[in-house]
Amino acid sequence: MSKQTFGATVAALRKERGMTQLELANQMGVTDKAVSKWERDLSFPDAAALPKLAEILGVSVDELIQGGPAEPAPGQAPVSEAARLVPLILRGVALAMGVAVVVLFSLRQLDAEAAVPMLGLGLACLAAAQLGRQD
């Protein structure tokens, strides 16, 4: 969805879901005339109603207000799904290694000599996750 007015966004999302203005109005607890005014940019729903409207239309409040999906800042490359997931996975592996060492060591199923490589792997995962951060 490209950037568009709030009203055009509401109308497009409503139509994508095969809803009439009356159906949306009933779910929102307003009149179909109110929905019509929103879609023609003649009025705006109450701010407290925006989360419910976004939920019904299947988008975030930000996407609803901004008229489409958020775009990266100028000069900034879009973040891929993998770029967001890899650091999370690396931190998860590090946490799992730490927990495994503590639990297995306390149950006397792991000696210190075997624990060191596991902790090293966890630390390496944390370091890799930190290197990938772009904050």
Tens-digit pLDDT profile for the chain (135 aa)?
456 888 999 999 999 999 999 999 999 999 999 999 999 999 999 888 889 999 999 888 888 888 765 555 566 566 667 777 888 888 888 888 889 999 998 999 999 898 999 888 888 888 888 876 654
Quickly tell me which residue has 């949306």 as its tokens: 24
pLDDT at position 33, please? 95
What are 40-49's contacts with CB under 8 Å, separation 24+?
40/7, 41/5, 41/6, 41/7, 41/8, 42/7, 44/6
pLDDT at position 65, please? 84
Q: Does domain 6-66 have CATH number 3.40.50.720?
A: no
Distance from C-alpha of 8 to C-alpha of 20, rounded to nearest angstrom? 14
pLDDT at position 1, please? 44
What are the structure tokens assigned to 91, written together?
């931190």
pLDDT at position 73, please? 54
pTM above 0.75, yes or no: no
Instruction: Break the chain into its structural domains and give their ranges.
Output: 6-66, 81-132
